[in-house]
């Protein structure tokens, strides 16, 4: 059942105080804002409150306000790896789209969490840097890419990290060096502890990559123009989730308007009008059938938000 924004706010139980406090910060506040348009898979009901901070301080303060007033709160970047419920989110979604400042130094770049990876890469190209081109074709934001340790098998963004600024669980803004970030395959200590990323300082003197070639390969092998949330499952050690899903005979399998991509089986495509429940059903079927065929329990890579 799709709740009206008013009802959602009632469930949060802090409507006027919350809206007033967020409205006093630099940024935009919107009530009952559809999340589908903020995600690459195009799914999700309304957020009771959507806040787009215009400064890093406002991001940090908005989290503190939500927590003080007892409202559930999450930080959303480019929405390229996330699945929201059809009923929406009964709290504050803080979207980082306006936090898009990049500052280039001698051999490093400082990027706010909301910087889109394609914009970051083109800013670096202007100065002749190609060491982050392994991120070519990944539609995420810097904050999401750091939390997820986005990348390709040969290199991930964590390899280039000098330091990451996060909002700590106790509310303090803290700078973590690379070791403290705990980067792992498609994950980090930052993701595990759900610490919002404020900004990242990345080294630029790593090996150069051919972004155009990587993008061309991705275009051939992945449904990059379709509505998806990227790879649905992590690759098991020394194997590929796509290979296993294809091997289980699941390419092209459909539930309603959701379909396992024929091009790359680890992508689920929203054919238009798919509901979250259909995607989740397909995820469950794929998980079960791969387990039945190969006795491998695939682990989700995408972030599934519970309603």
Residues that bind ligand EPU (CB under 6 A): 152-153, 186, 221, 230-231, 234-235, 240-243, 246, 264-266, 301
Specify the residue, 77 or 88, whose C-beta has the smaller distance to ligand EPU: 77
Nearer to ligand EPU, 227 or 264 (CB): 264
Residue labelled with tokens 């404020």: 198
| Complex with ligand EPU: residue 203 or 234, whichever CB lies closer | 234
Of 298, 279, 245, nearest in space to 40 by CA? 279
Q: How far is the CB of 262 from ligand EPU (least distance, A)?
A: 8
Rounded to a whole number of angstroms, the minimum distance from the CB of residue 249 to ligand EPU is: 12
Structure tokens at 201: 């300082």
CA distance 23 to 20: 5
Of 193, 191, 82, 100, the closest CA to residue 146 belongs to 191
| Residue 107 CB, nearest approach to ligand EPU (Å) | 26
For ligand EPU, which is the closer residue by CB, 73 or 248?
248
Q: Which is nearer to ligand EPU, 5 or 137 (CB)?
A: 137
Both tokens assigned to 185: 């395959």
Taking alpha carbons only, the member of 84, 93, 87 closest to residue 39 is: 84
Q: State the nearest-atom distance from the C-beta of 130 to ligand EPU, in Å.
A: 17
- Give the SS3 label for residue 50: strand
Provide, rounded to whole angstroms, the least separation between the CB of residue 33 and ligand EPU: 25
CB of 261 to ligand EPU, least distance (A): 7
Q: Which residue is nearest to ligand EPU (CB)?
A: 242
Q: Which two tokens stand for residue 270?
A: 């929203």
The set of residues, in sequence order, having a beta carbon less than 8 Å from that of 191 and lying 6+ positions away, is 147, 148, 149
Q: For ligand EPU, give the closer residue by CB, 175 or 213.
A: 213
Question: Quick one: tokens of 142?
Answer: 């810097």
CA distances from 214 to 126, 231, 237, 266 (A): 19, 16, 23, 18
Which is nearer to ligand EPU, 160 or 231 (by Cβ)? 231
If you write DSSP's letter for every residue of 247-303 in order, what string do you get? HTT-TT-EETTEEE-SS-TT-EEE-SS--HHHHHHHHHHHHHHHHHHH-----B-SE
CA distance 258 to 291: 21
Compute the least distance from the CB of residue 246 to ligand EPU, in Å. Answer: 4
């Amino acid at each position: 059942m799709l709740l009206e924004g008013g009802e959602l706010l009632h469930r949060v139980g802090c409507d006027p105080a919350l809206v007033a406090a967020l409205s006093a910060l630099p940024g935009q506040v919107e009530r009952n804002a559809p999340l589908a348009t903020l995600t690459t898979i195009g799914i999700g009901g309304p957020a009771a409150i959507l806040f787009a901070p215009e400064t890093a301080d406002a991001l940090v303060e908005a989290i503190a306000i939500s927590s003080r007033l007892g409202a559930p709160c999450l930080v959303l970047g480019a929405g390229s790896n996330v699945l929201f419920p059809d009923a929406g989110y009964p709290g504050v979604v803080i979207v980082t789209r306006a936090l898009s400042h990049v500052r280039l130094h001698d051999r490093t770049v400082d990027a706010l969490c909301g910087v889109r990876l394609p914009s970051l890469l083109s800013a670096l190209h202007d100065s002749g840097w190609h060491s982050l081109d392994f991120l070519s074709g990944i539609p995420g934001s810097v904050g999401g890419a750091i939390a997820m340790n986005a990348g390709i098998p040969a290199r991930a963004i964590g390899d280039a990290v000098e330091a990451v600024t996060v909002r700590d669980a106790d509310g303090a803004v803290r700078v973590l060096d690379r070791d403290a970030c705990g980067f792992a395959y498609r994950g980090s200590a930052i993701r595990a502890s759900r610490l919002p990323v404020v900004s990242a300082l990345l080294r630029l003197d790593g090996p150069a990559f051919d972004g155009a070639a990587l993008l061309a390969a991705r275009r051939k092998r992945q449904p990059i123009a379709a509505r998806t949330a990227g790879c649905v499952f992590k690759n098991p050690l020394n194997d590929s989730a796509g290979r296993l899903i294809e091997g289980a005979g699941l390419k092209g399998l459909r539930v309603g308007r959701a379909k396992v991509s024929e091009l790359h089986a680890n992508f689920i495509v929203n054919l238009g009008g798919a509901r979250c429940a259909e995607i989740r059903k397909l995820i469950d079927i794929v998980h079960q059938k791969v387990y039945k065929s190969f006795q491998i329990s695939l682990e989700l890579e995408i972030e599934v938000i519970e309603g």
